[in-house]
Structures are given as C-alpha cells and as structure tokens.
C-alpha cells in the first residue's frame, strides 16, 4: 500500500509538471484615486471569477510584485484617464515590468479605464496600455462587445453619467472583459 501511495504521488507530481501548474492566473491590477477605476476592477474581477477553473488575483498596482506579474497567465490593467493619458502611477508600473528576454511574451493582456467625460481619452489610454503590452510580446484582447473593442471604459463626470457612481452599462462591459480574458486564459492553459 505504501508503494502504491508513493507511486501515485510521483505520477501526480509528474503530471502536474508536464501539464502546467494547475489553474491559470488572471492578475487584475489598477490605480484608482477617486474609486471609479477600483469599481471597474471589481467588475472585471467578478467577470473573471464567473469562469470555473481560473485563479483571480485583484491588487492595486502598488501592491503587485514582479513575481506576480511573471507568474500570471493574463494581466488586466486599469487606469483613470489623466489629461488623455495613462495615470503616471500606471505608466511607472508598466515601466517596471521585466523586459530582458521578454518574460511576458505570450501572456494575455487587457485594459480598462475610467474617465470624467465623453471623448476625454478613454480609448487612447486603453490603446496606450495595450501598446505597452504588445512591446512585451503579450497577446492583447478587448471585451465581449463591439462597444468594448479596446477593453472596458466608464464615463463618470459628464451628463448623463454624473450620478456619483459607475453606471451599470460600464460595469457590464468590465464584467464581460474579465470573463473573456479568463475564458481565453483557461483555453490556452489546456
């Protein structure tokens, strides 16, 4: 019996090594000063967690280690729109990613943002994040809907979207983005 247990353990250990390290990990990270981008991050997390068999890690960018970036199968980055640009804290985070040898190559990447007004730069900021991911050799993706082609975005400070909270239509796009990224991470892990 002891030998059977030992052989079973060795077989399972070998199988674990050959077939990857279990569940794919989706890292969702963000910078949020007002709380709107964090609200979007929580919706992305909800969508990702709706996919069985995926590990989801949600952290503000100042709490993410290089190890977590390297171990993730997918990285979803969120930023507020600052003067039609990525928030400096998000840019600094992306600039800290290891580059030598392209260790992020073939990881999935996606973006989400929140901005104060219509046409204030949401799409440009998502594209800036995605472009940085492409430089690292990542495979970038958008959301589930045509209206979320570059990722998920929310407008929070211009009529009719100035209710003091992120509107449901934007949260739905964030959930869709999280779900799509998680589904793809799971498919690529098999």
17: in domain: no
User: What is the span of the domain harbouring residue 180?
Assistant: 23-189
Q: Residue 118 is part of a domain; what is its CATH number? A: 3.40.50.360
31: in domain: yes
pLDDT (0 to 100) of residue 123? 96
Q: Is the dihedral of CA 165, 166, 172, 176 positive or negative?
A: negative
4: in domain: no
178: in domain: yes
pLDDT (0 to 100) of residue 3? 53
pLDDT in tens, 64-101: 999 999 999 999 999 999 999 999 999 999 999 999 99
169: in domain: yes
Q: What pTM, to 2 d.p., does this model score?
A: 0.88
Upstream peptide bond of 125 is cis (omega within 30 degrees of 0): no
121: in domain: yes
Strand-strand pairing, 74-82 and 108-115: parallel
Rg of the chain, C-alpha, whole Å: 18
pLDDT (0 to 100) of residue 164? 81
68: in domain: yes
Q: How far apart are CA 48 and CA 75, in angstroms?
A: 12
Number of domains in the chain: 1
CB atoms within 10 A of CB 121: 20
* Contact between 72 and 23 (Cβ < 8 Å): no
62: in domain: yes
């Amino acid at each position: 019996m002891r030998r059977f247990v030992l052989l079973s353990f060795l077989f399972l250990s070998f199988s674990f090594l050959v077939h990857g390290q279990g569940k794919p990990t989706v890292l969702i990270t963000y910078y949020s000063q007002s709380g709107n981008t964090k609200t979007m991050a929580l919706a992305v997390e909800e969508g990702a967690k709706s996919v069985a068999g995926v590990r989801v890690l949600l952290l503000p960018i100042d709490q993410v280690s290089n190890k977590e970036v390297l171990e993730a199968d997918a990285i979803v980055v969120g930023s507020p729109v600052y003067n039609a640009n990525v928030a400096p804290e998000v840019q600094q985070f992306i600039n800290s990613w290891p580059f030598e040898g392209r260790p992020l190559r073939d990881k999935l990447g996606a973006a989400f943002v929140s901005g104060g007004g219509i046409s204030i730069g949401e799409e440009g900021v998502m594209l800036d994040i995605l472009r940085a991911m492409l430089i690292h050799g990542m495979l970038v993706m958008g959301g589930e809907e045509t209206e979320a082609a570059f990722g998920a975005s929310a407008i929070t400070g211009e009529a009719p979207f100035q209710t003091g909270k992120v509107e449901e239509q934007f949260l739905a796009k964030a959930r869709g983005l999280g779900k799509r990224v998680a589904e793809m991470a799971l498919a690529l892990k098999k």
